[in-house]
Amino acid sequence: MKAKGVALIFGGITFSQLFAVIIAYLTKPITIVSINPDGSVTAIVNSTTESLPASNVTSHMIVQSISPFGLGAFGSLLVSASLVIGSLVAAFLLVMLLRRGYINYVISGILGVATFLLSYYVASFFLGYSSPISIGVPLVFAGIIAAYGLYPRRFRGWLQLLVNVLVLLNGAELGFFLAVSFQKLTIVFLAFLFSAYDFYSVFRGPISRMLGKPRARAQDQEEVVERPERGFLGPMLVNFGEIEMGLGDITFYSMMPTAIFAEGMGMGLTLLEMLLIDVGVAATLVLLRKIRPLPGLPIPLLLGVIAFLA
């Protein structure tokens, strides 16, 4: 792999991680658990439950706590397992839609709506819910992503670069929301379970059906990959030239350091987490020389868990 491609990969990952952490710093997110009769709120702030007067939360981004099974370890495990199962079901549905020829419309619609909601939610915190900019800019972003899903071959040069930036922003924003919506223990379980899911999905599961399996040519050492048309995956991929990285990878790479920061564990551990993720990505790129395709989550996320144990 060329040095330029490697620089683009780590530059893109660092960009998404820093963007997610900066959002967490500026919005000061707190997770509301309940609203009390006296008008105060019970919220999770830096891993502790506190009662705050309503006047103290106006400058914070309010995030809904995702803990339907309780705040303990078992509840965190069930939430993580539910997300993995949901992701697996969604992946199999995508394979079915691919066979029926509806996939481009579905992916474009879903990611267009997701792009708008993520961008609008962040922009509206700073600019207001009715601001023309907080509505207009997310609409433009959503339109670009949807158009790319429908007409990927028309995006070249600066348009492809723009789409890459938007996918990175989507991954960073989604990583931010996951980081501040889940407990610390849930984040750790997500790292382990989604690493296992990613490994299964790439080699045995639905993603392997989309990517195809490489086979060696008879006369030389090059590989030929037999796979269906993958243009529909465009809005879910960042194109770094020789390497394509999925939106899910960017999301988790951004989620881990943002969770460290949001938990109040300090900027030092946040930077250490970013470094651990980068080391894991570097190890994955080395293995890519011998194994393709290769899941992008297991090594970075399992290394990233180390900072959570500090």
Q: Give the confidence band of 6 by pLDDT, cuts at 50, 70, 90.
A: confident
Per-residue model confidence as pLDDT tens digits over 18-77 = 999 999 998 888 776 677 777 677 776 666 677 777 666 666 777 767 777 777 788 889
What whole-number distance in Å separates Cα of residue 203 and Cα of residue 225?
A: 14
Q: What is the mean pLDDT of residues 194-202?
A: 88
Per-residue model confidence as pLDDT tens digits over 266-291 = 899 999 999 999 999 999 998 888 87
Place of tokens 């020829």: 101
Amino acid at 81: A
| Between 170 and 215, residue with greater pLDDT | 170
Q: What percent of the chain has pLDDT over 70?
A: 83
Res 283: pLDDT: 93
- Name the pTM for this structure: 0.85
Tokens of 284: 């994955």
Q: What is the mean pLDDT of residues 185-196?
A: 93
Tell me, what DSSP letter sits at residue 26? H
What whole-number distance in Å separates Cα of residue 214 and Cα of residue 219?
A: 15
| Residue 78 CB contacts under 8 Å (≥ 6 apart), including other chains | 69
What whole-number distance in Å separates Cα of residue 215 and Cα of residue 234?
A: 24
What's the whole-number average pLDDT of the chain?
A: 82
| Residue 14 CB contacts under 8 Å (≥ 6 apart), including other chains | 274, 278
The sign one gets for the Cα dihedral 200, 205, 208, 214 is positive
Place of tokens 């474009």: 108
Lateral strand order in the sheet of 41-45: 48-52, 41-45, 30-35, 62-64
Tokens of 38: 């006296």
Tokens of 56: 């103290």
Residue in 174, 175, 114, 100 with CA at minimum distance from that of residue 149: 114
| Between 164 and 204, residue with greater pLDDT | 164
Tokens of 159: 């348009």
